Amino acid sequence: MAPSNYYLSSCLNFYAAISQSPFLVCLHVHSSAPLSDSALIRPARKQDQEYLTYESGVDPVGTGWTQSNIRYYIFALLFVMFDVEAVFIFPWATRLEQYGLFGLVEMAIFIFILLLGLLYAWRKGVLKWF
């Protein structure tokens, strides 16, 4: 009498799990070793030099902390938003004939949504530097 398919599949699953377990143990050891090694190697207490500002080998003058204008970050986010837009538009423009009318409408909707975001930022006064 031949063994059933259920018995064979359960045996194969068991042997597959047994054969993979050494790899999983090695994976766990090799991934946790750097974390535990860094905890063992690091100095016990922080030194005062770690809190100094580094100025290219010159002795630091004043504090290293300064307050940045939040508008800089907003301009940076707007730049990233429109830079990502360019990443989508350039490949689309090279294959415009292949995409046809559907691709044209799709990109028009995409650009319209981005222009709505730009209009919203402009109306809120975000684009004014001073």
Q: Nearest-5° angle of CA 40, CA 47, CA 38?
A: 20
Amino acid at 79: F
3-class DSSP state for residue 68?
coil
Prediction pTM value: 0.46
Q: What is the mean pLDDT of residues 107-128?
A: 88
- CATH architecture of the region 70-123: Up-down Bundle (1.20)
pLDDT at residue number 2: 53
Q: Residue 92 and residue 89: Cα distance in Å, rounded?
A: 5
Residue 3 has pLDDT above 60, yes or no: no
Of the two residues 98 and 81, the one the predictor is more confident about is 98
| Dihedral, 54, 58, 60, 61 alpha carbons, nearest 10 | -150
Average pLDDT along the chain? 79
Q: Residue 97 and residue 86: Cα distance in Å, rounded?
A: 19
**Tokens of residue 25, six digits:** 């143990």
pLDDT at residue number 11: 64
Q: For the chain, which residues make up each domain, given as ranges?
A: 5-43, 70-123
Residue 15 has pLDDT above 90, yes or no: no
- pLDDT tens sequence across 45-92: 777 777 666 667 677 676 767 777 777 788 888 888 888 888 888 888
Q: What is the mean pLDDT of residues 83-110?
A: 88
Q: What is the mean pLDDT of residues 16-27?
A: 81
Q: Residue 64 and residue 93: Cα distance in Å, rounded?
A: 46
Q: Residue 69 and residue 75: Cα distance in Å, rounded?
A: 11
- Pick from 41, 63, 43, 44: which is nearest to 53 by CA? 63
